[in-house]
Chain A
Amino acid sequence: MLSRVADSLYWMSRYIERAENISRLLDVNLQLLLDFEELDDVKLKEHWEPVIRATGDAEHFYKFYDVADSKNVTDFLTFNKENPSSILSCMMAARENARMIRDQLSTEMWQSINQAYLFLKSNNAKLVWDSGPYEFYKQIQDYSHLFTGLTDATFSHTEGFYFMQVGKFLERADKTSRILDIKYHILLPSVEEVGGALDAVQWSAILRSCSALEAYHRIFVASVDPLKVADFLIYNDNFPRSIEFCVREMDKNLHRISGCPTDEYANAAERASGRLLSELKYSTIEDAFKQGLHEYLEMMQQRFVEIGGEVYKSYMFHPHIDMASEIVSQQQQQQQQ
């Protein structure tokens, strides 16, 4: 497979996963606000700033808007073209990548991604959003699920598929860690304060942002407990959005690409993912809290960046060709011929 194609498949998959996560995050947070009685600007800021941080940087936000209120934040994260992490930007980028490699995709995959693009480009998108953000965000998540399902059902499970899986799970692991980190910013200055009174609603919101509420309750029947939520979202073996699950899938797919057994590694990307997986496997939530949940999650995010970089170096990067010197050397060969 061409390196350029692998790169596009990987990013297409990441962008779609990103758009889905942001949609859910915004949806849940908008609903969450309905549970509060009084909201002044300060409260709103406290609520939204962590959300912005979870998807990008706040500085960028304040270049466009004065106040971090619901309207501005949703606009920034949904329709703002200058924000590379807005839903619109993500879907455009995903579609652009798809267009570059459309010969590689199944017709069904291409049409579903193109349909999402046409929807977002149409006036209809704004109308749907205006009449109810819930419908809009649901629609984006549906596009993502449709695409993921079609990929699974119509696209050969070979190298290209593995690259898409790597992109998807890397993105998802990163987003789960960031969503969990939101809660830290609001409520978790230290381990001792865990479990305050107004917690339950907000912790449920975290779970819902990861589509994890039902899955969580199947294991922990009792009320929502912060330690257990963090434990669940980081370490759960079977929930497909927990960090450990995502890292394991990513590691598995990386090994499928190279054909190397999972207990060994063939390149730096596999070593980095294998190492992270072992660490997750052999540590507990107590270890994470000892280090500080925020610090722990931040460390994770750095590791994700590192793995992404190694994947690029192992498969997609070819030394840059300097056109000018290439031309000269070819002309010399021509004369010798």
Chain B
Amino acid sequence: MFFKDYEVASFFDEMFEADGTIRPHYRAIHEKMQTLNQEAFEQKRQTVDLSFLRQGITFTVYGNEEETEKIFPFDLMPRIIPNSEWEHLERGLTQRILALNLFLKDIYSEQRIIKEGVIPASYVLSGKHFRREFMGVQVPKDIYIQICGTDLIRDDKGNYLVLEDNARCPSGVSYLLENRAAMKRAFPNFFPRAGVRPVENYSEELLNTLKFIAPQPKDNPVCVLLTPGHYNSAYFEHCFLARQMGIEIVQGNDLIVRDFKVYMRTTQGLQQVDVIYRRVDDDFLDPSVFRADSALGVPGLVNALRAGNVNIANAIGTGISDDKLIYAFVPDMVRFYLSEEPVLDQVETFIASEEKHYQHILENLENLVVKSTNEAGGYGMLIGPAASKAEIETFRGLIKEDPRNFIAQPPIMLSRHPTWCPEGDFEGRHVDLRPYILSGEKTTIIPGGLTRVALRKGSLVVNSSQGGGSKDTWVLYSDE
């Protein structure tokens, strides 16, 4: 019997209510798990790990001796979202992506949102990922962010909050799909009656999205996936998606631009490319415009883009919309462009550049999380309650020096989820959720997402590089 000493503590637990009652949508899986013993569970776990290794579902870790390939730790206890909760998320995420795309169109053309005083011009223009080279460039169908991975968390009351929008090259969707496949292998008899909505059509929807944004209407536009190469830690995912969509995976040196058109170099000569799903950052995309030392890019790609002979997903310059300072204004964008109230809440954000917030931040550093606006992946961050006096003083200095570069948020206690622990039972561990949103002819959200879990006790860091793992995420047809 599992869950004997399970503690909900003061957190929001995904499976248990505060008094220990099991939430209705978790009843079936709880019952199923109770039929297993420690040995049987361990056996399933090892089988799954081995199958990940065999399939090469790994990321590369570079050490001293030689590179090794590791699997992303996977927890067999699924995260479950009831239907009504998901519908709410879907509404909120759809609304948000619409607003972000309208914002990008506006910001690279008329800039109404600045002119009407909703967002100060300096906040946009000083953004590291704002690409002034793209002012006035037309983007097919007005879609800038075709693929978005939005990070959601739940506070201590269980409210879903948007933590950040990954609008550049969000990764992780292959784990979502492989996790599901692994769960089906581990619990073949349980699955058919669990009422779980399928996620398997993601690749098809992605390909539809790519075809939809082709620069000129064509029956069968040639789509490719541009990868930095097989040394990239996400290379497995690139291959996975390309294979599922049945499109070519290309590296920069497979492509060449002639007469403002992009071609790939094949055994039968040059073949024109219409749409590029790029997994390479803006900076490395075209060395004739951005970083000249980039060996990953394609010289002339931007020329071809401007000439309207190729389109890329996501568009260049989407990084301004997931700038952590601009994030503070997303609810305003929703109101401004859609005349609606935001469906999803987000984390309260103090802006160091705003005079009224500036004092508040400096006076409360030990109670706030401070984030650098242009960094990602947990870099340049101060977690006030956990920081030393010296660290706080360092950040005080940094904020005073360059307020534009900082925002502050109250710390959020992420929700917890029963997770298998080496001691042989389930314990609560903090989780987040990243659903994937596709914007093409319509907005499509795959029912599910990547649930990342901080495997270390007490840790709030879910990143795979720092002891994070993942779970399969089930969205149910019903609420139970």
Q: How far is the CA of A327 from the CA of B264 in the complex (A)?
A: 18
Instruction: Known contacts A103-B243, A110-B56, A111-B54; decide if A331 and B288 are in contact (CB<8 Å).
Output: yes
Chain A residues, Cβ within 8 Å of B295 = 323
Among B56, B248, B251, B288, point to the contact of A327 (Cβ < 8 A): B288
- How distant is A189 from chain B, measured CB to nearest CB, in Å? 46
User: Of the 9-residue stretches B84-92, B300-308, B390-398, which lies at the interface with chain A?
Assistant: B300-308
- How distant is B391 from chain A, measured CB to nearest CB, in Å? 41
Interface residues in A103-123 (C-beta closer than 8 Å to B): 103-104, 107, 110-111, 114-115, 118
Nearest chain-A residue to B260 (Cβ)?
A: A333
Instruction: Known contacts A6-B267, A99-B230, A103-B243; decide if A333 and B303 are in contact (CB<8 Å).
Output: yes
- How distant is B379 from chain A, measured CB to nearest CB, in Å? 29
Instruction: Known contacts A102-B243, A321-B253; decide if A118 and B53 are in contact (CB<8 Å).
Output: yes
Chain B residues, Cβ within 8 Å of A107 = 55
Among B56, B260, B288, B306, point to the contact of A326 (Cβ < 8 A): B288
**Residue pair B53, A337 in contact (C-beta under 8 Å):** no
**Residue pair A1, B287 in contact (C-beta under 8 Å):** no
A4 on interface, CB distance cutoff 8 Å: yes
Q: How far is the CA of A135 from the CA of B103 in the complex (A)?
A: 65
**Residue pair B307, A3 in contact (C-beta under 8 Å):** no
- How distant is B56 from chain A, measured CB to nearest CB, in Å? 5
- How distant is B260 from chain A, measured CB to nearest CB, in Å? 7
Instruction: Known contacts A2-B248, A330-B303; decide if A103 and B288 are in contact (CB<8 Å).
Output: no
B185 on interface, CB distance cutoff 8 Å: no
**Residue pair B266, A1 in contact (C-beta under 8 Å):** yes
Chain B residues, Cβ within 8 Å of A102 = 56, 239, 243
Interface residues in B225-274 (C-beta closer than 8 Å to A): 230, 235, 238-240, 242-243, 248-251, 253-254, 256-257, 260, 264-268
B292 on interface, CB distance cutoff 8 Å: yes
Nearest chain-B residue to A7 (Cβ)?
A: B267
Instruction: Known contacts A102-B56, A103-B242, A334-B288; decide if A323 and B299 are in contact (CB<8 Å).
Output: yes
Instruction: Known contacts A99-B230, A327-B287, A337-B307; decide if A2 and B56 are in contact (CB<8 Å).
Output: no
B-side interface residues, number (CB < 8 Å)? 37
Chain B residues, Cβ within 8 Å of A296 = none
Among A110, A159, A315, A330, point to the contact of B288 (Cβ < 8 A): A330
**Residue pair A115, B54 in contact (C-beta under 8 Å):** yes
Nearest chain-B residue to A316 (Cβ)?
A: B267
**Residue pair A315, B56 in contact (C-beta under 8 Å):** no
Among B55, B299, B303, B306, point to the contact of A111 (Cβ < 8 A): B55
- How distant is A162 from chain B, measured CB to nearest CB, in Å? 10
Chain B residues, Cβ within 8 Å of A71 = none
Chain B residues, Cβ within 8 Å of A331 = 288
A200 on interface, CB distance cutoff 8 Å: no
Q: How far is the CA of A39 from the CA of B207 in the complex (A)?
A: 66
A63 on interface, CB distance cutoff 8 Å: no
Instruction: Known contacts A2-B266, A103-B239, A334-B288; decide if A118 and B300 are in contact (CB<8 Å).
Output: no
Nearest 10 CB-CB pairings of A with B: A330-B300, A103-B243, A330-B288, A103-B239, A103-B242, A326-B299, A327-B288, A315-B267, A330-B299, A102-B239
